[in-house]
Chain A
């Protein structure tokens, strides 16, 4: 899988996320509490709600519709109504750019 240039690092505030669409799929890119960047699938595994309107807190991202909670580092589902983990993707920073490795 190639690295894809996704966005500028400054596009995302600390402890926040943005939606990123690529190849007909939707993702979120998160700037974590540790200042690192993370990428997960963009739709909640419960009811396919866009996570980009959700809340990033510590190492968790919360779905805006039913408050399902995921660890954005591993994708693990931490709170119902989500039972399935989110897909996660590798991210690297090159200068001001954020690159993501997605299919």
Chain B
């Protein structure tokens, strides 16, 4: 029977009835002193990373414009695209949690910039992500499930060029700007927050309208192909630069179990090269992040060392992660209900099977 991924459908009722909604999750025991140290916030690291991030935006955009019409411009725009269209996701995410900076307004400023870049309403996505952490990969509850079954591989491939996603995001922004929210959005956004959702959607739509107006004015003033620059700078990178965000993001939960209450079963940790880790702000330590979302990105490698005796072995590389995920996803297409269950090290506590026995039995059948 196909799953119902809406937040008000039959699987929502089933998840609530099974006790999978807002449930108790498995956590590895970590001494309070160690956890306090890991949770500590500092401004310095995120300030350094943000100065580099903004500085590179300026540098690559300037290079793209300076070399306009010559091949080096392509390299500059591709690099700019990744900084805008991929690094925005991790900045949006970490600042949404409020963990990047110690100073609250700094988190808020970067959160709003990154929300705009990633084309997410900063209000509704804050609530959506809170629900994702409450009910990770619980069907009918989690609004951020990337791999819905049956999996449409064509659409997943298209995600790397952002077209489909951007089209969907623009439609949502316009709908929100018109004051309309979907039934799913209303399922996780409190009524009192709806005016803020509408306000920020209008701000985002206003900036895109201004970008369009500038491009049209350039075209009318005979700027020719240079009229594309406003779109290469704003909005466009969400299409031509999102590939890194998609490449890393799909690994977070792909091929793993749904409807379980143990993040070791539904999230993936893998080792990444330093450049990707900087773009992704260490979200490759995804089991660790889900277990302890208060730990800032710069402390995740240390948290990984603290937890790894209790976690399935991390995938050794992006390639290793993809190989594992694709095999599992292809099997999921043939065998609905299948999920990859990773082996735990001998030092780990067993999976919390008693909390989700039925779901796991279904997953392994």
**Using a CB–CB distance below 8 Å, which chain A residues touch chain B?**
16, 46-47, 53-55, 57, 62, 64-67, 69, 78-81, 83
Contact = CB atoms under 8 A, between A and B. Distances in A.
Given A67-B97, A79-B98, A81-B126, A47 B104 contact: no
Given A54-B294, A80-B126, A66 B193 contact: no
Interface residues of B, number: 21
Max chain B CB contacts within 10 Å: which of A46, A53, A66, A67? A66
Contact of B36 (A55, A66, A67, A83): A55
Contact of A83 (B104, B134, B192, B293): B192
B74 interface: no
A2 B99 CA distance: 39
Interface in B20-41: 22, 35-36, 39, 41
B149 interface: no
Given A16-B36, A47-B22, A81 B292 contact: no
Contact of B134 (A47, A54, A64, A67): A47
B140 to A, nearest CB: 17
A55 B293 CA distance: 11
Chain A contact residues: helix, strand, loop or mixed: loop
Contact of B293 (A46, A57, A67, A80): A67
Nearest to A68: B130
Interface string B73-108: 000000000000000000000000111001010000
Contacts of B126: 80-81
15 contacts: A16-B36, A47-B22, A54-B294, A55-B41, A57-B102, A64-B292, A65-B293, A66-B130, A67-B98, A78-B104, A79-B104, A80-B127, A81-B130, A83-B190, A83-B192
